[in-house]
C-alpha cells in the first residue's frame, strides 16, 4: 500500500473507549494477515488499567501451509478483490447515509452543546434518547466500521502490498529510481478530488472584491456566506461533498470535521488564497501517468506489459479504496460525536463527570448503556483507571512523543485538544 496514505492516518488512542474505535484498522490488518497464517502483532495494546503497552514484534505461523496458500491466492485475485472492496465501501456508505437522515434524533432539541454547533435543547420539550437505543447505535456503528476496515485490509491494503514488490521491480526496469508508487501518478482518489475542488473554490471566490481581505481578517464562514452570496453556493456544495474530512487528531472524539467546524476548512484554504497567481501546480515535476505507462511498455515489451497492466490498475484501485475507506470512517466518527452527548446523558447516572465513561471499553460501555448506568463493576473499573491516569499519560508521552493537553478543571484528565 502507498506509504503516503498509511503514515498519516495512524490513530493513537488515549482512553479505553478511544482504543476500541481507533485501533479498528490495526486489528483489521492483524485479522487479514492471520487469514494467511501469519500471526502478527501490530500497534500497542491497552491493558485493563487503561495503559497502552508496546507489543513484542515478530510473527508466527497460525495456520496450515495449504490454507495459507489459499488465502495468498485470494489476495492475488485482483478482480474479486476489486469487486468485494467496492461492495464493502458501498455498504458502509449506505449505512452512513441512513444515519445522516436519522441524525439519531439529534435535532436542535435533543443534544446538549458538545462544541459541534448543537443546541442545548432548552425549551424544546424533546426527550433524550433511551439508553438501549444509544447502545444499539454504538453497536451498529462499531460493526459497520469493523466491516469497512476488514474489507479494506483484506481486499485492498494487503493485496496491494503483495503486488507492490512486483510492481516496484517492474518500475525500475523503466527507470531505476522509480518506486512502485510511480504508478499512482495522476490518481484522482478522494484526497486528490478534495484538493482539486478546494482549489476550484478558491479560484471562484478569490475574484470576489473584498472576499480575500475579509477571510484573512478572520471573518467566519457563515459571515462570509452572508456577505458574499456568490460564494455561499460553492461552499455549501463543497461541504456536502467533503464535509466529513476531519482536521488531524489522534482521537476520534477530539477531532472536528469541516462540517462541524467550518473554521478548520478556512484554515486549510487560507494558504491557497495567499499563494501567488503563478503558483506551481500540484504534482508538477512528476512524470504523468500516460508517460509512465509508455516508458514501462518500451522497457518490458508488449507481452509483459499486457500482464502488468491489470496489476497496475488494481494497485491504483487499492489506493483509492483506502482513501475512500478513511473518509467514510471519518463520517462514522462524526456520527459518534453527535451521539456521545446522548450516551453521557443516558449512561452517566451516578458519575460526577459523565465524561468518565471514556474509561470504559466498548463492550463495557454497551453493557452500561443497557443497564441505564454504571454498575458496581463498571464503577470499580472507572475509578481504578482514573487513578492510574497519570501513569497512562506518561506512557502515552513515552510512546508517541506528544503531550496531551489538559482539560480545564480541578481534576486533570489528560484529554487532548484538537490540533
Report the candidate in 308, 326, 313 with the shortest Cα–Cα distance to residue 151. Answer: 326
Residues 64, 37 contacting (CB under 8 angstroms): yes
Q: Are residues 303 and 343 located together in one domain of the fold? A: yes
Whether residue 405 lies inside any domain: the answer is: no
pLDDT above 80: residue 291 = yes
Residue range 207-234: mean pLDDT, rounded: 93
Q: Are residues 179 and 327 located together in one domain of the fold? A: yes
Whether residue 408 lies inside any domain: the answer is: no
Whether residue 416 lies inside any domain: the answer is: no
- pLDDT, residue 251, reads 66
User: What's the CA gap between 371 and 382, in Å, rounded?
Assistant: 16
pLDDT above 90: residue 71 = no
SS3 letters for the chain?
Answer: CCHHHHHHHCCCCCCHHHHHHHCHHHHHHHHHHHHCCEEECCCCEECCCCCEECCCCCEEECCCHHHHHHHHHHHCCHHHHHHHHHHHHHHHHHHHHHHHHHHHHCCCCCCCCCCCCCCCCCCCCCCCCCHHHHHHHHHHHHHHHHHHHHHHHHHHHHHHHHHHHHHHHHHHHHCCCCCHHHHHCCCCCHHHHHHHHHHHHHHHHHCCCCHHHHHHCCCCHHHHHHHCHHHHHHHHHHHHHHCCCECCCCCCCCCCECCCCHHHHHHHHHHHHHCCCCCCCCCCCCCCHHHHHHHHHHHHCHHHHHHHHHHHHHHHHHHHHHHHHHHHHHHHHHHHHHHHHHHHHHHCCCCCCHHHHHHCCHHHHHHHHHHCCCCHHHHHHHHHHHHCHHHHHHHHHHHHCCCCCCCCCCCCCCCCCCC
Q: Are residues 83 and 151 located together in one domain of the fold? A: yes
Q: Are residues 229 and 295 located together in one domain of the fold? A: no
Q: Are residues 291 and 155 located together in one domain of the fold? A: yes
Phi, psi of 202 (to 5 degrees): -60, -45
pLDDT above 60: residue 107 = no
The fraction of the chain above a pLDDT of 70, given in percent, is 76
- pLDDT, residue 61, reads 55
Residue range 406-417: mean pLDDT, rounded: 40
Q: Are residues 21 and 165 located together in one domain of the fold? A: yes
**In which band, very low, low, confident or very high, does the pLDDT at 12 lie, cut at 50, 70 and 90?**
low
Each residue of 284-303: b (16+ CB within 10 Å) or e? Answer: eeebebeebbebbbeebeee
Question: Which residues, other chains included, contact 347 with Cβ-Cβ below 8 Å and sequence gap of 6+?
Answer: 131, 134, 354, 357, 365, 368, 369, 371, 372, 373, 374
User: Which residue did the predictor score with more confidence, 163 or 356?
Assistant: 356
- pLDDT, residue 418, reads 35
User: What's the CA gap between 306 and 312, in Å, rounded?
Assistant: 10
- pLDDT, residue 417, reads 36
**In which band, very low, low, confident or very high, does the pLDDT at 60 lie, cut at 50, 70 and 90?**
low
Residue range 37-49: mean pLDDT, rounded: 78
The mean pLDDT of the chain is: 81
pLDDT digits (tens, 9 = 90+) for 78-101: 888 888 889 999 999 999 988 887
pLDDT above 50: residue 277 = no
Whether residue 412 lies inside any domain: the answer is: no
Whether residue 228 lies inside any domain: the answer is: yes
Q: Are residues 345 and 203 located together in one domain of the fold? A: no
Q: Which domain holds residue 256?
A: 190-274
Residue range 276-292: mean pLDDT, rounded: 66
Instruction: Taking each helix axis as running N to C, give the angle between helix 158-174 and helix 65-75, from 0 to 180 degrees, rounded to the nearest 10.
Output: 60
pLDDT above 80: residue 105 = no
pLDDT digits (tens, 9 = 90+) for 193-214: 999 999 999 999 999 999 999 9
Residues 389, 50 contacting (CB under 8 angstroms): yes
**In which band, very low, low, confident or very high, does the pLDDT at 117 lie, cut at 50, 70 and 90?**
very low
Q: Are residues 96 and 241 located together in one domain of the fold? A: no
Whether residue 262 lies inside any domain: the answer is: yes
pLDDT above 70: residue 122 = no
- pLDDT, residue 253, reads 84
Q: Which residue, 274, 302, 323, sits at the end of a domain?
A: 274
pLDDT above 80: residue 6 = no
Within a 13 Å sphere around the CA of 100, how many CA atoms are in the beta-carbon half? 15
User: What's the CA gap between 162 and 27, in Å, rounded?
Assistant: 19
Whether residue 409 lies inside any domain: the answer is: no
Q: Are residues 126 and 170 located together in one domain of the fold? A: yes
pTM of the model: 0.83
pLDDT above 80: residue 374 = yes
- pLDDT, residue 401, reads 64
Q: Are residues 14 and 123 located together in one domain of the fold? A: yes
- pLDDT, residue 376, reads 95
Whether residue 61 lies inside any domain: the answer is: yes
Q: How many residues comprise the chain? A: 419
- pLDDT, residue 101, reads 79
Residue range 384-408: mean pLDDT, rounded: 76
- pLDDT, residue 285, reads 54
- pLDDT, residue 415, reads 39
Q: Are residues 36 and 146 located together in one domain of the fold? A: yes
pLDDT digits (tens, 9 = 90+) for 323-348: 999 999 999 999 999 999 999 999 99
Q: Are residues 176 and 55 located together in one domain of the fold? A: yes
User: What's the CA gap between 95 and 332, in Å, rounded?
Assistant: 9
pLDDT above 50: residue 402 = yes
Q: Which residue, 242, 274, 306, sits at the end of a domain?
A: 274
Give me the number of domains the chain comprises.
2
Residues 418, 18 contacting (CB under 8 angstroms): no
- pLDDT, residue 396, reads 80
Residue range 98-126: mean pLDDT, rounded: 47
Instruction: Taking each helix axis as running N to C, give the angle between helix 158-174 and helix 289-300, from 0 to 180 degrees, rounded to the nearest 10.
Output: 70
- pLDDT, residue 70, reads 66
Amino acid at each position: 500500500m502507498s506509504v503516503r496514505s498509511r503514515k498519516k492516518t495512524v490513530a493513537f488512542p488515549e482512553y479505553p473507549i478511544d482504543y476500541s474505535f481507533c485501533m479498528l484498522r490495526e486489528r483489521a490488518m492483524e485479522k487479514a494477515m492471520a487469514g494467511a497464517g501469519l500471526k502478527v502483532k501490530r500497534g500497542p495494546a491497552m491493558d485493563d488499567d487503561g495503559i497502552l503497552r508496546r507489543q513484542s514484534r515478530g510473527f508466527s505461523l497460525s495456520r496450515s501451509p495449504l490454507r495459507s496458500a489459499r488465502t495468498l491466492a485470494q489476495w492475488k485475485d485482483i478482480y474479486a478483490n476489486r469487486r468485494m472492496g467496492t461492495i464493502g465501501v458501498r455498504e458502509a456508505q449506505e449505512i452512513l447515509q441512513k444515519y445522516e437522515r436519522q441524525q439519531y434524533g439529534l435535532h436542535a432539541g435533543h443534544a446538549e452543546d458538545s462544541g459541534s454547533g448543537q443546541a442545548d435543547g432548552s425549551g424544546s420539550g424533546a426527550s433524550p434518547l433511551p439508553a438501549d437505543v444509544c447502545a444499539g447505535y454504538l453497536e451498529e456503528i462499531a460493526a459497520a466500521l469493523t466491516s469497512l476496515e476488514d474489507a479494506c485490509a483484506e481486499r485492498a491494503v494487503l493485496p496491494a502490498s503483495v503486488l507492490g514488490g512486483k510492481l516496484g521491480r517492474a518500475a525500475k526496469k523503466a527507470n531505476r529510481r522509480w518506486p512502485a508508487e510511480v504508478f499512482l501518478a495522476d490518481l484522482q482518489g478522494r484526497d486528490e478530488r478534495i484538493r482539486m475542488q478546494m482549489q476550484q473554490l478558491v479560484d471562484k471566490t478569490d475574484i470576489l472584491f473584498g472576499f480575500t481581505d475579509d477571510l484573512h481578517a478572520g471573518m467566519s464562514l457563515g459571515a462570509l456566506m452572508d456577505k458574499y452570496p456568490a460564494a455561499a453556493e460553492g461552499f455549501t456544495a463543497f461541504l456536502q461533498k467533503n464535509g466529513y474530512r476531519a482536521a488531524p487528531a489522534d482521537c476520534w472524539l477530539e477531532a472536528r470535521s469541516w462540517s462541524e467546524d467550518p473554521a478548520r476548512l478556512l484554515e486549510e484554504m487560507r494558504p491557497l488564497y495567499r499563494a501567488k497567481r503563478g503558483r506551481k501546480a500540484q504534482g508538477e515535476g512528476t512524470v504523468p501517468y500516460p508517460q509512465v505507462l509508455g516508458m514501462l511498455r518500451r522497457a518490458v515489451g508488449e507481452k509483459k506489459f499486457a500482464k502488468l497492466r491489470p496489476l497496475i490498475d488494481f494497485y491504483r484501485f487499492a489506493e483509492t479504496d483506502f482513501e475512500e475507506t478513511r473518509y467514510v470512517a471519518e463520517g462514522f466518527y462524526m456520527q459518534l460525536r453527535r451521539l456521545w452527548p446522548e450516551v453521557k446523558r443516558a449512561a452517566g447516572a451516578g458519575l460526577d463527570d459523565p465524561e468518565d465513561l471514556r474509561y470504559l471499553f466498548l463492550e463495557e460501555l454497551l453493557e452500561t448503556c443497557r443497564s441505564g448506568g454504571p454498575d458496581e463493576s463498571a464503577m470499580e473499573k472507572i475509578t481504578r483507571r482514573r487513578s492510574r491516569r497519570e501513569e497512562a499519560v506518561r506512557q502515552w508521552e513515552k510512546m508517541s512523543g506528544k503531550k496531551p493537553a489538559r482539560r480545564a478543571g480541578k481534576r486533570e484528565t489528560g484529554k487532548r485538544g484538537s490540533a
